Amino acid sequence: MDEYIREDVLLLRGADYTMLEKLVGECASRVYNALRHQNIEPGTKEAFNAYVSCLHQLYLMGAAMQLNRMGYHMTKMS
């Protein structure tokens, strides 16, 4: 994650900054590993769609983490 976003947008410093850096790295590593184990041929439409799906899920996870950090709590709606 870009330092500008962590420092100037999310206003993270110290331990929070380092923790987020490690978390994002771990998430990216796990997603990459899962994507590689799908045995999708590189350069195909399926590979592109899988990549975009992974990016979308990472975006949603990041949004949920930031909302939680801001004090919002997710509740199931019926």
The CA angle 34-53-72, to the nearest 5 degrees, is 100
Say what the pTM is: 0.73
Report d(CA 29, CA 78) in Å as an integer. 35
**CA–CA separation, 21 vs 57, rounded Å?**
18
**In this prediction, what percent of the chain has a pLDDT beyond 90?**
33
Q: Which domain holds residue 16?
A: 3-69
* Predicted pLDDT of residue 68: 85
Tell me if 75 is assigned to some domain.
no
The stretch 8-14 carries a mean pLDDT of 80
Query: What is the domain count for the chain?
Result: 1
DSSP3 helix / strand / coil % (the chain, rounded to 5): 70, 0, 30
Percentage, residues of the chain above pLDDT 70: 99
Whether 34 maps to a domain, the answer reads yes
Residue 23 lies in a domain: yes
Q: Is residue 78 part of a domain?
A: no
For residue 47, what pLDDT is reported? 93
